[in-house]
Amino acid sequence: MSIQSQLDRLASALTCLRPQDPQSRSDLAETCRDVFQAVKGGPLADPLSQALEAAQRVALDIEQDPSGDLALIESVVEWALEAVAALEHGERVEPFGSPEKEAEEQVDSELLGMFLASALDSLSTIEEYLLALEEDPDQPECVTQVRGVVHSLKGECGVIPLPTAQALLHLSETALDQVLASGKGLPADVFFCLLDWMKAYIHELEQDPDCDPPEYTYLQENIAALAEGRELPHPKTCSKEEAAPPPSATASSSASSAINPSERVQFPEEVLSDPTLAEFLAEARGHLEDSEAALLEIESDPEDIEIIDRIFRAFHTIKGVAGFMNMEDMVKLAHASEALLDEFRKGNLICTTEHTSLIFAACDAMNSMLDYLCGEEPPLRLSIYELIEALELAAQGEESAALTAQPTPPKPHTPASPGTPDEGSTTLLGQYLLERNLITDEALQQALQVQRHLQKTGSSKRLGEILAEAELISIDSLKAALLGQRGASIAGAQTFPFAEAVIESGLLSETEVKQTLRSTESPKAQRKRKPHIEQTVKVATRRLDVLIDMVGELVIAQQMLTQDPELEEIRSQRLQRNLTQVGKITRDLQEAAMSLRMVTLRSTFQKMSRLVRDVSSKAGKLVAFTVTGEETELDRNVVEEISDPLVHLIRNAIDHGLETPEERVERNKDPKGNIALNAYHQGGSIVIEIRDDGNGMDRERILAKALERGLIDGNPDDMPDSEVYKLIFQPGFSTAEKVTDISGRGVGMDVVRRNIEAMRGRIDIESHPGEGSTFYLRLPLTLAIIDGMIVRVGSHRYVIPTLTIEQSFRPDENSTHRVLHDGEMVEVRGKLIPIHRLRDIFDLNEGLEEISEGILVLVEGAGERACVFVDEILGQQQVVIKNLGKALPPTQGISGGAILGDGRVALILDTDALLTSVAATPVP
């Protein structure tokens, strides 16, 4: 059989494969093996055999597990067929796998963005399961879950494509299967390591989508070993210290000497604006609180590995997130603490009070860094690094050295003046006692020897206890010293003297004071946190809507009650007062309910940043995009609706508004164009502003185009600019000479106008030739409530949305004109405006006939202005918009109903539809 037919055979085996059928799978594996053997012995062994061998391996995998990488075999076969054909024609053959490399370079940015966002979620899910597994390894369902997440992550990596990550994840999947099959515990370290690697890779990809994956051989080897059930070849690299990329012991030790004593911790700017910051803060605080509690437990039972594990995990998590957010100092500190804790975990060291104080100090330093993130004074960098060094020394088992000798550079503080601002650094008890001349150096050495001896025999005692037992120091001064030590290292100046006084007066024991100190400390810290971290509950929107509906009903019922005519006859002050009170509470309740639906514009604006990046590179323009007011809150529905119009406006701003960099330079502008997106409140509505500093709009060009398309007629010279600019919202209107894939068809602006108007918002344009244009989108805060003017025609009442009303006035007889028999016009500030009588539009058989007796309301709709003639204006109030029941078709000119104070329904006018319908059907 020729190679060609062999390959064909393989291809048909592939198409016939039924993945769920083991027989079918083993058939495939057999065919694969046969083909491989045949090719190996054949004339084309050299270029083909390697790829086919890979295919065969995968086929064998698939035989065991149907979820294997079938695509690989398919691509091998495809490639091999091509290669054979190419070789027949005497062409060169690219080795298999090279197209994959190419693919990695052309990562689709759109897909990648989505992948990155979801991948982090998947990773944290895996992390959660791993942590749960570490606590109780006997949970096979957890392993299955991890496997599921890893599998889907692998799938996503394959789509992007990120072959390296895909391969690693595939390998991990096999490893997890192996773990499940063997029934052994899961070596979580390996997978934590994988997680760290993935996170690092994702982080890099965010910066640069074309970056190469980080170093992964050790990881690959470890996972591969796991998959094959071998011993880990790099057990050491699995532990986080070495695997975690940035913090290295040597780097940080040398670092502290290079630090300026007054330098303070600084995190990158992006950190402070990161939307996940609040979440991180809440999480980190929680972890720290947890570890502090655990530390207190440890003091009473130093050998409880489980408690140490708890602290370890807390620090590990903080480290992970901090690393992700680029908070280098925090990562280093967490890493050093972790390293020390790991020594306890491994049993190399026993946790002593000195150690716990060190870790306490680390917690406090972390807290102070978190405070800094909340807007407080950043902690001193030096103090952090000193702490890191102390932690590292301790981890190297040199706790005695750290105790006796001063840990490297001399500390600037003395405990005698505890006010010096160096919280976060710590003083060891021995050192503290020495400094205060409470014990001699010899006594200390002696005590330390005792302690070390005790440690070797497996028990442990605190230095203070040893000293006291040996009567080297009085109990009182020891207590004071302990307190002083803690005061200096943790609580700071204020609490120290008082606590010392308490202890010295013998009112309380040292431990009691310690605990009190801790407890007084935490509420203080909590008070500080409150404004920054908000607890959240996820609620289904459906439930929210029910609540808001019910509140709406309550408002109506309350209004009906207070406006009840029978109540007005009762002259009771108490009743009035109570009714007012109910009214007030109802309004508050309504406001609170409405605020539940409010969400910030942040995510919408973030999408826009992304859009600017993509569009500007496509259009070949340089754009500096600034966003302000993204914390402005809007009704959820409005936020959802606003996205499309913004996309169109921003695309237009980039494509039409901004000039190319060359043109900009010619016009003495910065080659980089500016586009600013801004949101703010203005008079009960929200304004979103899109500003560019490009060309500005060309009045003449718009007018010429509009004349050409017959959108306007007559002399356009006296048309105000704002109206000229609004012509661009006409459907199909485009001044662009050529249609690009970004814009130019004239569809976008029409969509913008319609979407905005559907939300009862409006658009205004301001533009200056050569200086740029600004689009103002005015939107209601919510879709459920509008401000309305209640008008009456005969016995009917209607609500006209205030937003559409320009003015209302009582016409005088001389200013109204009758033209062409029935067209009525009124002169408003020198302009003739048509009058529409509501009683005629709605065929009502009541209402005033004489114009001068009623009121004209000047409204704007569908780009036109018109006066609506009504009998009188009853008042203005906020009304809840209700639809008129789905059983009925939409009524033209009516956008919905509102329930008024007397419980009856008034119809809300849709001025747009009203004016268009009037224009469409001329009055007979």
Partner 1 sequence: MNQELSQDLITADESQRALAGKYLSFMLQGEEYGVRILKVREIIALQAVTPLPRMPEYVRGVINLRGRIIPIADLRLKLGMQAPADSSHTCIIVLEVEGAAEGEVCLTGCVVDTVSEVLDIEAHQVEPPPRFGSSISNDYILGLGKIAEKQKVIALIDIDKVLSNDESIEQAREVSDESTESCA
Alpha-carbon span 159 to 116, nearest angstrom: 12
User: Three-state SS for 322?
Assistant: helix
- The answer for residues whose C-beta is within 8 angstroms of residue 275's C-beta and 6 or more apart is 602, 603, 606
Tell me phi and psi for residue 123, to 5 degrees: -60, -40
Enumerate the H helices of 274-348 as residue ranges: 277-300, 305-324, 328-346
Looking at residue 89, what DSSP letter applies?
A: T
Packed helices 495-504 and 475-486: angle between N→C axes, nearest 10 degrees: 170
Is 316 catalytic? The answer is yes
Q: Which residues of 288-301 are buried (b: 16+ CB within 10 A; e: fewer)?
A: bbebbebbbbbbee
CB of 588 to partner 1, least distance (A): 19
Q: How far is CA 620 from CA 398, 624, 673, 839, in A?
A: 60, 13, 11, 57
Alpha-carbon span 110 to 150, nearest angstrom: 22
Whether residue 692 contacts residue 773, with contact meaning beta carbons closer than 8 Å, is answered with: yes
CB of 830 to partner 1, least distance (A): 30
Q: Supply 366's token pair.
A: 């972390």
Judged by beta carbon, residue 467 or residue 556, the one nearer partner 1 is 556
End-to-end Cα distance, the chain: 89
Enumerate the H helices of 161-216 as residue ranges: 163-182, 188-207
Positions touching partner 1 (CB under 8 A) are 549, 552-553, 556-557, 731, 754, 796, 841-844, 862, 882-894, 896-897, 899, 903-907, 912-913, 916-917, 920
Judged by beta carbon, residue 154 or residue 839, the one nearer partner 1 is 839
Judged by beta carbon, residue 486 or residue 597, the one nearer partner 1 is 597
Whether residue 316 contacts residue 240, with contact meaning beta carbons closer than 8 Å, is answered with: yes
Whether residue 644 contacts residue 755, with contact meaning beta carbons closer than 8 Å, is answered with: yes
CB of 591 to partner 1, least distance (A): 18
CB of 795 to partner 1, least distance (A): 10
CB of 555 to partner 1, least distance (A): 9
Q: What is the DSSP string of 396-450?
A: TT-HHHHHHS--SSPPS--TTSTTSS-TT----HHHHHHHTTSS-HHHHHHHHHH
Alpha-carbon span 74 to 86, nearest angstrom: 18
Is 708 catalytic? The answer is no
Is 652 catalytic? The answer is yes
Q: Supply 740's token pair.
A: 């690009």
CB of 792 to partner 1, least distance (A): 13
User: Three-state SS for 466?
Assistant: helix
- The closest alpha carbon to 476, from 501, 496, 452, belongs to 501
Tell me phi and psi for residue 61, to 5 degrees: -60, -45
Whether residue 220 contacts residue 168, with contact meaning beta carbons closer than 8 Å, is answered with: yes
Q: Which of 63, 104, 292, 338 is catalytic?
A: 338
- The closest alpha carbon to 893, from 854, 919, 856, 863, belongs to 919
Q: Which of 222, 367, 652, 755 is catalytic?
A: 652
Judged by beta carbon, residue 132 or residue 594, the one nearer partner 1 is 594
SS (H, E, C) 852-876: HHCEEEEEEECCEEEEEEECEEEEE
Judged by beta carbon, residue 255 or residue 862, the one nearer partner 1 is 862
Judged by beta carbon, residue 62 or residue 728, the one nearer partner 1 is 728
Judged by beta carbon, residue 835 or residue 908, the one nearer partner 1 is 908
Judged by beta carbon, residue 291 or residue 559, the one nearer partner 1 is 559
CB of 900 to partner 1, least distance (A): 9
- The closest alpha carbon to 172, from 180, 184, 160, belongs to 180
Judged by beta carbon, residue 488 or residue 908, the one nearer partner 1 is 908
Q: Which of 170, 203, 287, 316 is catalytic?
A: 316
CB of 905 to partner 1, least distance (A): 4
Whether residue 118 contacts residue 147, with contact meaning beta carbons closer than 8 Å, is answered with: no
Judged by beta carbon, residue 113 or residue 794, the one nearer partner 1 is 794
What are the residue numbers of the active site?
316, 338, 652
